[in-house]
Amino acid sequence: MSPLPQNKFWTFFLLCCILTFTTLLFSYTFTDPPFHFLKYASRISGSFFSKDICACDSCMADLGEDAWLADHFNLSILPLMTRDSSALSEDTYRWWQWLQREENPANYTQVVEELFRIIPEEGVFMDAGPQRCRTCSVVGNSGNLKGSNYGALIDTSDLVIRMNKAPTKGFEKDVGAKTTHHVMYPESAVDLSNTTSLVLVPFKTLDLQWIISALTTGTIRGTYMPVKSWIKANKNKVVVINPRFIKYVYESWLEGRGHYPSTGFLTLMFALHICDEVSVFGFGADQHGNWHHYWEHNQLAGAFRHTGVHDGDYEYNLTLTLADKHKIQMFRGR
């Protein structure tokens, strides 16, 4: 019942506090300007100071001291289009219009105006901060998901982002059942459930006109190929990738490789910009080196790797580099 040990404990604790405080104050005042101090502190105490950035163990926006990341990653580029951010510079517009060489495009400004009469305009996802820990699964379509048993793990993420034709029905054990976001363009469109957000990647003005039409009148039936004239999707959850974001990914990340980024790589970059932690599934070849889709039986059917449009090797290399730097976690399947 002696109070002494407790007193000793508190004295010791107080001393520690004073010591820590003065050390920090010293380094703050005398060794580094305030801005550098924060970086310095985050280096020594890692995740503690990361908490200032987000509430996860690791934060996407925490680039540390990595010059490569700082060169490529620009978190102030917003991935989604809003009415305000939809205006494109002459340069960006021309670049974007050249991707699929659309002839006689409609008036972009007018199309965007009409678009936002149909879909909501929210600054969605741009709510990063110390309170947020948003975990995301990006699920590619590789055959390496077959027999992977990743389904349950994929579904634990806050956001599950899939792309193009990806089905879940019948493949739940390996790819999961949850889809919060489905990234597509007119030529790869599929119907969605009411709870899934359709993420349109527009590669031309007609793609914006298509989503308007597919949600309302069904008049557009073809682009450079026949497309779905109607789409089942929740209008209130449709979002559109900003062409400017596509250009940023092409220039800043791909450094001009390929003709333009693939949907897979754009989806990964989308996740990097809206999530705090990103897990990646179904990217790359399977164990036999095949590049097919997980829902295809014929292993050659999806031999799309070298289409001439995308630089798949370079994109995959960047993806691996991000994993090496622990910015994403790669699940390679089998």
Ligand X SMILES: *[C@@H]1O[C@H](CO)[C@@H](O)[C@H](O)[C@H]1NC(C)=O
- Catalytic site residues? 260, 310
Residue 164 Cβ vs ligand X, minimum distance, rounded to whole Å: 23
Contact 283, 316 (CB under 8 A): yes
Instruction: Please report which residue ranges of the chain form alpha helices under DSSP H.
Output: 4-26, 34-45, 47-50, 67-72, 90-99, 108-118, 151-155, 172-175, 205-215, 243-248, 263-274, 312-324
Q: Which long-range contacts (CB under 8 A, 24 or more apart) does 16-19 make?
A: none
Residues that bind ligand X (CB under 6 A): 74, 76-77, 107, 109-110, 194, 234, 236, 317, 320-321, 324
Is 310 part of any known ligand binding site? yes
Q: Can you tell me the distance from the alpha carbon of 242 to that of 253, in angstroms, rounded to the nearest whole number?
A: 16
Least distance (Å) from ligand X to the CB of residue 109? 4
260 appears as a binding residue in the annotation: yes
In the complex, the smallest distance separating the C-beta of residue 103 from ligand X, rounded to whole angstroms, is 15
Find out whether 264 is annotated in a ligand binding site: yes
Using the Cα atoms of residue 30, residue 33, residue 37 and residue 39 in order, give the sign of their dihedral. negative
How many angstroms separate the first and last alpha carbons of the chain? Answer: 62
Query: Which residue's CB is nearer to ligand X, number 76 or number 131?
Result: 76
Residue 144 annotated as binding site: no
**CB under 8 Å to 281, separation ≥6 — which residues?**
137, 138, 139, 140, 145, 148, 150, 154, 175, 331, 333
Q: What minimum distance in Å lies between the beta carbon of 124 and ligand X?
A: 13
Flag whether 293 is marked binding. yes
Interatomic CA distance for residues 4 and 324, integer angstroms: 51
Q: Which residues are annotated as a binding site for substrate?
A: 100, 141, 164, 224, 260, 264, 284, 293, 310
